[in-house]
Structure 1
Amino acid sequence: MSSLTPPTEVDVVVVGGGNAGFSAATAAAETGASRVILVDKCPAEWAGGNSFFTAGAFRAVHNGAEDLLPMVNNVDAETAQLIDLEPYTPQEFWKDIERMTSGRTDPALSQILIDDSNDAIKWLAKNGIRFQLSFNRQAYKLNGRFRFWGGLTLKTEEGGKGLIEDHQAAARRRGVEVYYSTPAKRIVTDRSGAVAGVIVECEGIDTLISTKAVILAAGGFEANPRLRAQYLGPGWDLARVRGTPYNTGDALEFAIRDVNAKQCGHWAGCHSTCWDANAPANSGDRTISNEFTKSGYPLGLMINNAGERFVDEGVDMRNYTYAKFGRAIHEQPDGVAFQVWDQHAIPWLRSEEYRDEVVHKIWGSTIEDLAEKLCADHGLNSSAKFVQTIQEYNTAVYAYQKENPNTKWNPAVKDGLSTQSSFTKLPLAKSNWALPLDQGPFMAVKVCCGITFTFGGLKVNPATTAVISQSDREVTGLFCVGEMLGGIFYGNYPGGSGLTSGTVFGRRAGAAAAKLSVGQPTVSYRVSNTFRTEPRLSARL
């Protein structure tokens, strides 16, 4: 970290110090900007934004194990022979984004995300980001082999904490200066409307930093109860905040105010997941961090406090449902639910999310015993309905197994083990991984909605991330990346694509800002209301 007082004239200012901001700052310095600074309103002890609280997962196109193993530090020669890791193609990535966003994603932005994803992770690795294969989150060991699933294989060592430490080290090597407790407050433009500087607050004093290029990477508004209620809807002010308390939407608001930036994307949408009901309300815990996530629901059931199921827990792989199931929990009575398992599934739950040190487990020797405990101390309103729900579920599972004796449970694929046979069909199916809950003792964990990041953001030139104004022209010198960039995610997202997006577009913004700062031309952009690019399903690997 640099001294407390930032310089008054620089080449590039990056606002926000998460993965996207550090990617942008490092890329700007790498591309030739002679003085790059990064300012963040949080104090140094909260460095890293939401990226610090992630599991460090990056989704990227790849050609299989031979493409990724040279990048990782946790696979020896013996283990490499036990890995089943299929390629993840551009076509698969595109289909995942299309499916997760119901076809609403901006095709130009998504195509760049896909095309640049492989090169982006290799660029990070070259800059010292320590990658590993995600054995603990994305692989099951079946018949002695590690089977990776869901198109997501890479994570950073020590998750988000390690990612930010490595980013900080890379920035220092490139000469990037970082100033914490320095909130940006206003964009300053010249008579032509081009960026001329940014006003920051330093030790209570507003200071102008003159620059030709500002990159906004300050996150969404997920930590702002007022804006959550305004844009996401009634009751969202009560959602638990998974990450930093400093992502309050300030930069979104001053960009709209100061340069008439065009809003874009799904402003009523957000990434929200199953979160420990005992977690802090208004910010994440930097020690426990992502371990408050409770993503073992595909292996069991989720039941609300009325005793009823409300989602198909097995509709898809966890990577494609966890970012939207938080909203489903939030819509339940009192905004809570119970995840429930028996001894079939409990041994398969990930220890970092369900170990005794990070979660309160409620045990019952029978389903009836568990229901009584949930009613007595944890807010379940109907023990009879809870028991009935599980009994009806078990009946449907038994019927399916009897009709389909050759269908085997396999947590690494969509195994088709369902509740929907010709004999019995539940009104709400469990489409995969439907094992009976009949082997005690039984365990429940109380969960709520944890909001991760918001999907609404600013319109940009996809090639450079230059911000577009309401007049559909670029704001010269202003760029936008990370959670602030709108148009990619709608309603849901493929797990791991958020960090990848931050790096892909952070690199582009940094390079464009650096070129602008030294007088080199960048790619201009004019929005057309009639032209829509179609995605090119190709990759540059």
Structure 2
Amino acid sequence: MSLSQKTDILVIGSGNAGLSAALSAAQTNPTLKVTVIEKSPSSWAGGNTYFTAGAFRTVHNGLSDLLPLVNNTTPSQASRIDMDPYTESDFTADLQRMTGGRTDPALSKALVSDSRAAITWLASNGVRFQLSFNRQAYEVNGRIKFWGGLALKTEDGGKGLVEDELRAVRNAGVDVFFDTAATALVTDDSGAVVGVEVVNSAPVSKSRRTTIAASAVILAAGGFEANPQLRAQWLGPGWDAASVRGTPYNTGEMLKIACRDVSAKTAGNWSGCHSVAWDADAGAHSGNREISNQYTKSGYPLGIMVNRNGERFVDEGFDMRNYTYAMIGRRVLEQPGQVAFQIWDARTTGWLRDEEYRDEVVRRIEAGTIEELAGKCKEVGLVDTEAFVKTIREYNASVEGEEERKRWDPAVKDGLRTNGLAVAKSNWALPVDKAPFLAVKVTAGVTFTFGGLAVRPETAAVISETTNEEVPGLYCVGEMLGGIFYDNYPGGSGLTSGAVFGRRAGRAAAERAGSGRLGRL
């Protein structure tokens, strides 16, 4: 299969948003030719989607509403599950709370109102959904309690999602080309986008430059999180030191190209990003496609975190984990050396997720006393062992008594808090005093950036900075779409956004390409 110089709809990017857009376009008008190009080689297919846990946040009416979508729940399990409905009001409130009220109202309304329809559509196209027992539920007193408004994930996480979506688009007749980077948008005299200049760097192509004519172009090329220069420029000082959690190919070119070639209007939180506590021993410049999301270290609400000076610096329990994990990396990055230590005792180590904390994926620092733990942490970067020990003792003295601790429940905000500390822990505050002890060294892992392009919510059409009107023939989805997330985000809403706006953009692009306004290619 060779790269054609003409197509009806050209999608740039092979992640969830781009593949959703391509599938939507192909299904809206099966007579159209839909093409996906991806800068990376096929071995990096899926962009950042591959590195996710595959979580999708969606409106639902409770367990019975989701059971028809999933393949991993037996009737016996279902009888023990507690799951509250998650309404449009709940989803909207979470978006408002996580973004400090700055989320674009029209975009967030579209995301929320279309979330369930998008999930059902993906499932109908072969995406395998499951209940997220391992990440979003705790078994407490024999009941499986889902928490944080998030219940669905895809089978095999991001890897499975990419496999399912690639299969779906190919079954729909979409051509997918790797090693093909867009270098410019081509416009006609009216300012409409009518093609894309590309460089095909596959071994057999010898870096062939060409122009692909298209009636509509959908940008889904990711943010700038893998570009240390742009991170330092746009996120701020120190961000060039962050580790890259996902693909190394999301380096921001398409954002700059869209602004340069069509004066695309920017929107959203350009100094904000999704950033997690990340294994300090992981590679700095890209994720590992085998280990993938398992380098995330999200067990901090069950214990405490200290910086290399032995000081606590964040309230580990101020909210449920899936409402805090996307901003906790920023707090780690702000610490000396951009590192921290997560710490637990025997009370809570059994609650840690095995996929993140087992020996095969993390260096476990284990000891029989706090003093011994401090000494072992010093071998890997802790500076002040005395402060480390003092911090833990002061924390232990601040937690509530034995009787109050009986209400500890990781599936709800239990209100078990510290008293008298400069940095409180607002929930799940148990003492760290029962041997053996465990520590893990973490750094900041950047996932995706929040700044992007302004779009029409109905169609994801890109807006011009010059005219404040749509740029004809150009759409934007996924990480490149700006205005939804600020500083933080509700876990699972990124993949849902990609599907919701990818689906809208695909429909709009197909309607434009099939309308006859530009003529068939």
Q: TM-score scaled to structure 1, two decimals?
A: 0.93
**Structure 1 residues 342-373: Cα deviation after superposition (integer angstroms, max 9, x where no partner):** 00000000000001100000111100110111
Match of 1:504 among 479, 497, 500: 500
- Structure 1 CA distance, aligned partners of 2:261 and 2:422? 52
Match of 1:16 among 13, 16, 41: 13
Counterpart of 2:115? Answer: 117
Counterpart of 1:106? Answer: 104
1:414 aligns with 2:416: no
Match of 1:474 among 470, 473, 490: 470
Match of 2:282 among 279, 303, 323: 279
- Assess, with a 3 A threshold, how the Cα gap between structure 1 residues 520 and 439 changes in structure 2: closer, same or farther: farther
Q: How many residues align?
A: 510
**Structure 1 residues 60-103: Cα deviation after superposition (integer angstroms, max 9, x where no partner):** 00001111000000011111111111100111101100000000
Does the 8 A contact of 1:302 with 1:338 survive in 2?
yes
Does the 8 A contact of 1:228 with 1:236 survive in 2?
yes
1:364-513 alignment to 2 at 5 Å? Answer: 364-375=367-378, 377-397=379-399, 400-401=400-401, 405=404, 408-420=407-419, 425-470=420-465, 471-513=467-509
- Structure 2 CA distance, aligned partners of 1:96 and 1:450? 23
Does the 8 A contact of 1:15 with 1:218 survive in 2?
yes
Q: How far off is 1:520 after superposition?
A: 7.2
- Structure 2 CA distance, aligned partners of 1:144 and 1:321? 27
- Structure 2 CA distance, aligned partners of 1:189 and 1:497? 33
- Structure 1 CA distance, aligned partners of 2:406 and 2:456? 49
Q: How far off is 1:109 after superposition?
A: 0.1
Q: How far off is 1:384 after superposition?
A: 0.6
Q: How far off is 1:22 after superposition?
A: 0.2
- Structure 2 CA distance, aligned partners of 1:79 and 1:371? 42
Counterpart amino acid of 2:312?
A: R
- Structure 2 CA distance, aligned partners of 1:401 and 1:67? 41
Match of 2:259 among 242, 253, 256: 256
Does the 8 A contact of 1:407 with 1:416 survive in 2?
no
Q: How far off is 1:6 after superposition?
A: 1.2
Counterpart amino acid of 1:512?
A: A
Counterpart of 1:528? Answer: none
Q: Secondary structure at the match of 1:11?
A: strand
- Structure 1 CA distance, aligned partners of 2:344 and 2:405? 23
- Structure 1 CA distance, aligned partners of 2:86 and 2:406? 26
Counterpart of 1:73? Answer: 71
- Structure 2 CA distance, aligned partners of 1:364 and 1:79? 37
Q: How far off is 1:13 after superposition?
A: 0.2
Q: How far off is 1:9 after superposition?
A: 1.1
**Structure 1 residues 210-259: Cα deviation after superposition (integer angstroms, max 9, x where no partner):** 11100000000000011001001112111100000000001101000000
Does the 8 A contact of 1:401 with 1:407 survive in 2?
no
1:315 aligns with 2:338: no
Counterpart amino acid of 2:178?
A: Y
Match of 1:59 among 29, 32, 57: 57
Does the 8 A contact of 1:57 with 1:496 survive in 2?
yes
Identity %: 62
Counterpart of 1:266? Answer: 269
Q: How far off is 1:406 after superposition?
A: 7.2
Counterpart amino acid of 1:214?
A: V
Q: How far off is 1:407 after superposition?
A: 5.6
RMSD: 1.0
**Structure 1 residues 354-408: Cα deviation after superposition (integer angstroms, max 9, x where no partner):** 0110000011110011011111x111111110000000000011xx226x63761
**Structure 1 residues 473-504: Cα deviation after superposition (integer angstroms, max 9, x where no partner):** 10000000000000000000000000000000
Counterpart of 1:96? Answer: 94
- Structure 2 CA distance, aligned partners of 1:317 and 1:508? 31
Structure 1 stretch displaced more, 230-239 or 43-52: 230-239
Match of 1:28 among 22, 25, 28: 25
Q: Secondary structure at the match of 1:98?
A: helix
Match of 1:154 among 152, 155, 158: 152
Structure 2 residues without counterparts, runs of 5 or longer: none
- Structure 1 CA distance, aligned partners of 2:395 and 2:477? 45
Q: Secondary structure at the match of 2:233?
A: helix
Q: Secondary structure at the match of 2:430?
A: coil
Counterpart amino acid of 2:455?
A: V
Q: TM-score scaled to structure 2, two decimals?
A: 0.97
Counterpart amino acid of 1:393?
A: Y
Q: Secondary structure at the match of 1:30?
A: helix
Counterpart of 2:298? Answer: 295
Counterpart amino acid of 1:258?
A: D
**Structure 1 residues 481-537: Cα deviation after superposition (integer angstroms, max 9, x where no partner):** 00000000000000000000000000000000000001179xxxxxxxxxxxxxxxx
Structure 1 residues without counterparts, runs of 5 or longer: 522-541
Counterpart amino acid of 1:510?
A: G
